Amino acid sequence: MSDGGPQAQRLAELGAEWRSRLTTLPDKPQETVEATLQTLWHLAAGRPLSLEAALEIDTLPALDAAADRQLQALIEQRAGGVPLAHLTGRQRFMGQDMLAGAAALIPRAETELLGQAALALVQTRLAEVGRATVVDVCTGSGNLALAIAAHAPGAQVHASDLSDDAVELARRNAAHLGVADRVDLRVGDLLEPFDQPAFHGAVDVLICNPPYISSGKVDTMHHEISGFEPRLAFDGGPLGVRILQRLIREAPRFLAPQGWLAFEVGEGQGPAVLRRLDAGGVFVQQRSVRDARGEIRAIIASR
């Protein structure tokens, strides 16, 4: 945003007033006080934008008295823990400004590591054979499946989630991004919606961002997370790996020869999951995807 002017002065005043009450969580480092206020300013002016889209605009619109009161109310809600993406209804993921809401997990930056790795696998398969069948389970808002569809239009993309509400949000997202005619969305438990001959041994890239927080830790998470995002998206059972174990066990039946399984893991889970893959003897290749701190955050494995 350009410096100077009444809008910049008002933004600085708001920053001084609210700095101590606006929280930046470790998994949303981009949501600084300044960035949050700019995003809410645009929302108060009638522009629902993702944080990144708001920051790409150099100037802030003028607010009349009613819009300024609306801005104050939005900041109050954000300070009370309502996620920014729930207020704006927008979240950027892999370059796509997607719809967000309470029906599904808000896409996180760390999941882009999985998304980029999966996209590379899809693009390689398209280059090699001219087609790629992709299945994304635990799809939530559809962020991974829809990003793949947007960036790899030649892929046949299918996705599912156990939550009807999440799949409805994913359908709205597919329409919002203009890929509804290229993504098949289903409701069901993990791979159950695809337990059909057409998918057995036919999936080139199987993607999953599963719940991986242990049940006992879910209620101890920050209120902004546990109080507003669906527990179903986090709770991975007593040890946090219940869904991961099912995925590893059930995936081979669906994967094509030399097909890939790609999934996210929680902090500290990577080494144990890699050992499990080795011990199973089914996956002949495994690769780790690490974050900037060197932590394993995604794993890809091939039959």
Closest CA to 37 of 62, 12, 3: 12
126, pLDDT greater than 60: yes
Q: How far is CA 46 from CA 63, 214, 246, in A?
A: 10, 40, 44
Model pLDDT for residues 197-245, shown as the tens digit of each residue: 999 999 999 999 999 898 989 888 898 998 999 999 988 998 888 999 9
- Mean pLDDT (whole number) for 28-37: 94
Count of CB atoms situated within 10 Å of the CB of 278: 11
pLDDT score for 2:
52
135, pLDDT greater than 80: yes
pLDDT score for 280:
86
Question: By the 8 A CB rule, do 262 and 300 touch?
Answer: yes
Question: pLDDT: is 161 or 8 the higher one?
Answer: 161
- Mean pLDDT (whole number) for 145-165: 98
- Mean pLDDT (whole number) for 52-76: 96
Residue with tokens 């986090």: 234
Count of CB atoms situated within 10 Å of the CB of 72: 15
Strand partners, 159: 136, 185
CB contact set of 235 (below 8 Å; sequence gap of 6+): 211, 213, 215, 218
- Mean pLDDT (whole number) for 103-123: 97
Mean pLDDT for all residues in the chain: 95
Backbone conformation region of residue 160, classed left if phi is above 0, alpha if psi is from -120 to 50, else beta: beta
- Mean pLDDT (whole number) for 235-260: 94
3, pLDDT greater than 80: no
- Mean pLDDT (whole number) for 254-283: 94
pLDDT score for 4:
60
- State the burial class of residue 165 (Cβ atoms within 10 Å of its Cβ: 0-12, 13-18, 19+): middle
pLDDT score for 303:
86
Q: How confident is the model at residue 78 (pLDDT cuts 50, 70, 90)?
A: very high
Residue spans of beta strands (DSSP E) within 238-295: 255-264, 285-290
Domains of the chain: 5-88 (no CATH), 111-302 (3.40.50.150)
Question: pLDDT: is 218 or 262 the higher one?
Answer: 262
- Mean pLDDT (whole number) for 124-142: 97
CB contact set of 292 (below 8 Å; sequence gap of 6+): none
- Mean pLDDT (whole number) for 141-147: 98
